Structure 1
Amino acid sequence: MSTNYYSSYEQERKNAPKQCPHCGEPINQDLSSYGSKVRHHCGSQACRKAYSRANILERKHQARRDARQRILAYGNRWLDLDQRRSLMTMTQMVMDANFDTGHQIAEQIVQIIESQRCKHDRISVLIENAALAKRRADEAQAHNRDMEAQYKHRIAELESELVLLQLLQGSIDKIAAEQLDKQADPIPQEPEPEEEDEDRNAVLATLALAGIEPYTGGQDDSEE
């Protein structure tokens, strides 16, 4: 920091005027010693006032230049070419109309323009958000309609399947009832005729030739 201050001081000493710019009185003739203050006027009251007026005027010019640069930077950032030209023309007219406060009035006008632009931007954002919300709502409604159609179709299929199951259940119950009725009243079956025993017939024929009666199971009882 001290180095920068020393460099600035040396630069100021180098550029120090050698005479008063207002009356021509010699000044800053001996700046060889360190710490010698650079003078910008001779020190008389008239020259001090003139120097003060010159400083005020220079600061005013600088403020006007800074305001113009800020307005131009705003136009370059946010406005198109035609709008920027109109803005700078308006700025020049206002600054020419009032040297002291024209640049301030011009910047106030820019602030009003900026507030309106921000308001329009906010409105645009709100419109975009509303459009996005509406689009999402429409998509949600379309999705809900599709899902509702799918559910209705599935319900119809289930109802058809239920009717079919009920018909099958009725048929099964009917068949089961018929089977139960048949088991409760069985149909009597006739005895099947006995098949002839060829060996027995042959034995009986042999006994008949021999004069022997076949055993029937009741002969012992008759002999007793």
Structure 2
Amino acid sequence: MIPIDIAILFMGAAIALAAVPGPDNIFVMTQSALYGRMSGLVVTLGLASGLIVHTTAAALGVAVIFQTSQTAFAALKYAGAAYLVYLAWKAFSAAGTALDGVDAPEIPTRKLYLRGLIMNIANPKVTIFMLAFLPQFVDPLNGSLIGQFYQLGALMFLATVVVFGAVALAAGTLGSWLRGSPSVQLWMNRVSGVIFVALAFKLATAER
């Protein structure tokens, strides 16, 4: 069991790290602005759920593979970049429709959740980061190492939901009065597509 003082220290660090502008919170912001606060929150849950996979990889040592194998690292990052390019294409090809209308397009909750989950899992740098960050707060004297990894992963999950959830609420509020205009919606889709392409380029050119 992780001591309470270590847990508080870790939680503070996790919140600070989540608040730093990066691909994940930018992704939440664009999805929330385009489709509403609830959509942004669902994407947030998907991104946070991906941390469970990364925590497991770090706890079991799988992250070492991505840290030492250029092939494995490249394969995962290019897969993630390809998915972002796919999302960019969907955004560029979307028509400008007033989202508060009767025929407003909706994205199923499952797809929004999977967007966040895939976005997070397909970034090998997150796995390597978890491998470097989590062990600093693990101590064999405090019990099972794997158990401690999952406790820290749970705190990271909570920090991500809190910070990214706030981003989703803020972006969704701002976007709510913009989405009633088809022309504004069209431009929001285009901007979202450009952001997806930029994120794909950033991921594809990432180094270990």
TM-score bucket (shorter structure): under 0.3
* TM-score of the pair, normalised by structure 1: 0.24
Which protein has greater RCO, CA pairs closer than 8 Å, 6+ apart?
2
**Higher radius of gyration, 1 or 2:** 1
* TM-score of the pair, normalised by structure 2: 0.26
